[in-house]
Amino acid sequence: MPINLQMPALSPTMEEGTLAKWLVKEGDSVSSGDLLAEIETDKATMEFEAIDEGVVARIVVAEGTENVKVGDVIAIIAEEGEDAGDVEAVPAPAEKTAAPAAKEEAPAPKATPAPTAAPAAKTSSNGNDERLKVSPLARRLADQKGVDLNALSGSGPGGRIIKADIDAADGGAAPVKSEAAATAPTATAAPASDFDIPHSSEKLSSMRKTIARRLTEAKQTIPHIYLTVDIQLDKLLKLRSELNATLASRDIKLSVNDLLIKALAVSLMQVPKCNVSIEGDQLKTFERADISVAVSIEGGLITPIIKSADSKSLSAISTEMKDLADRAKDGKLKMHEYQGGTASISNMGMFGIKNFDAVINPPQAMIMAIGAGEKRPHVIDDSLQIATIMSATGSFDHRAIDGADGAQLMKVFKELCENPLGMLA
């Protein structure tokens, strides 16, 4: 019996997807675990694996097809011994039975008489209708004198033909329209500006549609509160340099973001009122800090998760983050690697952004936005000195996190970054 391959739901929010690419062709034999296709979901481009053995008898949905609904048949697999050329799709069980036929025919609606045609517009002797801009007196005179109204240029308001034009035409002195002028439009549309002419146009991808929908929902439904601190980074940068010197033999190089992930995770454990999520009328408090890290990929953004970041070593966070980021950009992440998380961090410092306000990713209740570390005048021990300063802004869901609790988290985060040995103790 042939097997229907259906469009899978590769994420909890996926309702439809794009069949980006087939990795097999009709006639190929497949086994469980073989890669069949690349499917663009609302999160990423992911690979679809076979769970049955057989021969690809028919590809129903061509690659590049958009808006394929979850559950739609995309291909048919013939089982061993079946003639691949004769298989047909197995009909899916009907969800609803057809409504019983009516016992009696509904009475036919009474015929209504067709409306009579409106009277035709009156025309002058030359066949021109009354919508021509002509005064009533000028029209009567034109009919009497046999003057062709279409050949005249009106001298009245708005080009209206008036009595003087008829009198002049009858005497041979009226300005007569040339043939080209008679057929030319009275006005030409102004040329569109460069702003009105799109230079390119493309459909939104499934990922971009989901980003648009979720961010709109977040800003419309979540009361954001923003809290910013300036952090002196010199000690953290020194610690990073020292750790990288010891980790060089293991081919591990810590980034500043690795240390910030650790600092946020430890902060959440020290201020558990911020390590929460809100779902409906339920407030959930988490016992570990799973940090979703924003990674920019082609066509959008995805947030792979460093689970239990509060208890992991910096070297483990660095290694795991590099692997997740590489696979995110290749569309190779598995669903559990980007679904969930208790809080997020988004770092735009590498672009030179000084500070920004990030949008919360529901059902999470906070996200930390990291700006660039830069040399700034800074007061140290009551004297003005130059230090490396970074601005960090926490966005908090005010329904779940009070301002004082958010401020406490920012204070702890600042202290850990400025005295980074504390996050390693």
Structurally, what CATH architecture does the domain formed by 223-423 represent? 2-Layer Sandwich (3.30)
Average of pLDDT values for 87-94?
50
Strands 291-293 vs 343-347: parallel, antiparallel or unpaired: parallel
The CA–CA distances, whole Å, from 394 to 104, 227, 357, 359 equal 68, 5, 8, 10
For domain 136-178, give its CATH number from 1.20.1280, 4.10.320, 3.30.70, 2.40.30: 4.10.320
Is the entire prediction scored with pTM above 0.75? no
- CATH number assigned to the domain covering 3-78: 2.40.50.100
pLDDT at 245: 97
**Greater pLDDT, 77 or 164:** 77
Q: Which of 199, 224, 378, 398 is catalytic?
A: 398
Q: How many whole angstroms from its chain centre is CA 382?
A: 49
**Greater pLDDT, 375 or 121:** 375
pLDDT classification of 84: cutoffs 50, 70, 90: low
Contact 51, 36 (CB under 8 A): no
Q: What is the pLDDT of residues 346-403, one digit of tens each?
A: 999 999 999 999 999 999 999 999 999 999 999 998 999 999 999 999 999 999 999 9
Contact 57, 85 (CB under 8 A): yes
**Same fold for the pair 3-78 and 223-423:** no
DSSP string, 249-314: GGT----HHHHHHHHHHHHHHHSGGGSEEEETTEEEE-SS--EEE-EEETTEEE--EETTTTTS-H
Coil, strand or helix at 38: strand
Nearest to 26 by CA among 48, 64, 56: 56
Q: What is the pLDDT of residues 246-304, one digit of tens each?
A: 999 999 999 999 999 999 999 999 999 999 998 888 999 999 999 999 999 887 889 99
Note if 378 is an active site residue: no
Listed by start position, the domains of the chain span: 3-78, 136-178, 223-423
